[in-house]
């Protein structure tokens, strides 16, 4: 570490300032140097108009306080602006117009009544069915669409409940039979605790817990539908958190999938039953279960 010439840290806007402070303190201790980052040049890249640090149940003030701009290190930072968007150099006029609209929203420009964001007519849709038809045309084909069909098309939503509802509507349109997988939820008792103390929590409630780190308690799938892996099963084989896959075969305890995108594109893999134990903060509950 003492031989390092520079540290490059991207997406700094999403990082909690405590993480930056911890790296700074660690380097100072290792190198016995009280300068910021022990005198090593640190290049922090990011955009504060994008997602800020996540503070569970935090207020707007809590989130702002968590940014690196509130760190004592910020006073020693020289700010350099990148003003040319390289991704848009060859983009169409529509893409450049949309990018400028996003930039105005981020800077709070052109707001209606100084608080409301106006969505242009071509960006609005009043019916979920029309949205699905636009993003996933011919999703009801038989046989199901090829794997590449789902690679670059996606509907985003801010809440898991909305995602689940959209997923079900799209799945209903796809051809084939539905197979439902019910999670085998079980309470985890603390060491020395009486197991009977947790029996009052019904399994049906455990099924209803909707967490970003867990699949739904009742998971409906069809052959040909897309899925995303939620754990690092075998990174060297392309099976890590966030891997996009297409279901090609199903049985009670194993899924056969085709990976899409990346260097493992079109590779076939088997996904078995997996035990997941979220933290209480992740699952937004005060107890642990698996």
The residue extents of the domains of the chain are: 6-76, 128-290
- Give the residue, 208 or 223, on which the prediction is more confident: 223
Q: What was the pLDDT predicted at 79? A: 93
Does residue 16 surpass a pLDDT of 80? Answer: yes
Determine which helix (DSSP H) or strand (DSSP E) holds 255, and give its type and residue range: strand 254-259
Determine which helix (DSSP H) or strand (DSSP E) holds 179, and give its type and residue range: strand 179-182
State pLDDT tens for residues 127-160: 999 999 989 999 999 988 888 899 888 898 888 7
State pLDDT tens for residues 59-105: 999 999 999 999 999 999 999 998 887 777 677 888 888 888 888 88
CA distance 240 to 231: 6
Which among 139, 187, 132 is positioned nearest to 155, based on CA atoms? 132
pLDDT confidence bin for 193, thresholds 50/70/90 = low
Q: What is the distance, to the nearest Å, from the Cα of residue 29 to the centroid of all Cα atoms in its chain?
A: 34
CB 14 within 8 A of CB 51: yes
What is the residue whose two structure tokens read 């085998």?
Answer: 184
The model's pTM: 0.71
Does residue 27 surpass a pLDDT of 90? Answer: yes
**Average pLDDT, rounded, for the chain:** 86
Q: How many residues does the chain have?
A: 290
């Amino acid at each position: 570490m003492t031989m390092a010439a520079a540290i490059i840290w991207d997406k700094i806007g999403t990082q909690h300032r405590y993480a930056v402070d911890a790296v700074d303190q660690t380097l100072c201790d290792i190198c016995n140097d009280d300068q910021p980052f022990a005198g090593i040049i640190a290049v922090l890249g990011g955009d504060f108009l994008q997602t800020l640090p996540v503070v569970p149940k935090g207020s707007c003030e809590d989130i702002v306080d968590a940014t690196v701009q509130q760190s004592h290190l910020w006073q020693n930072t020289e700010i350099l602006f990148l003003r040319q968007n390289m991704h848009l150099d060859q983009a169409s006029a529509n893409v450049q117009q949309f990018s400028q609209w996003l930039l105005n929203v981020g800077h709070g420009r052109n707001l209606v009544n100084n608080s409301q964001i106006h969505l242009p007519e071509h960006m609005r849709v009043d019916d979920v069915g029309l949205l699905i038809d636009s993003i996933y045309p011919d999703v009801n084909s038989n046989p199901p669409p090829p794997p590449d069909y789902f690679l670059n098309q996606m509907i985003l939503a801010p809440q898991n409940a909305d995602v689940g509802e959209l997923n079900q509507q799209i799945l209903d349109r796809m051809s084939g039979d539905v197979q439902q997988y019910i999670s085998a939820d079980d309470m985890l008792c603390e060491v020395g605790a009486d197991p009977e103390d947790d029996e009052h929590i019904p399994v049906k409630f455990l099924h209803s817990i909707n967490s970003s780190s867990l699949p739904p308690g009742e998971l409906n799938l069809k052959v040909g539908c897309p899925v995303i892996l939620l754990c690092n099963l075998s990174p060297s084989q392309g099976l890590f958190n966030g891997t996009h896959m297409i279901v090609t075969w199903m049985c009670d305890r194993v899924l056969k999938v085709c990976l899409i995108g990346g260097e493992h594109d079109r590779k076939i893999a088997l996904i078995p039953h997996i035990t997941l134990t979220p933290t209480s903060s992740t699952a937004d509950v005060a107890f642990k279960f698996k």
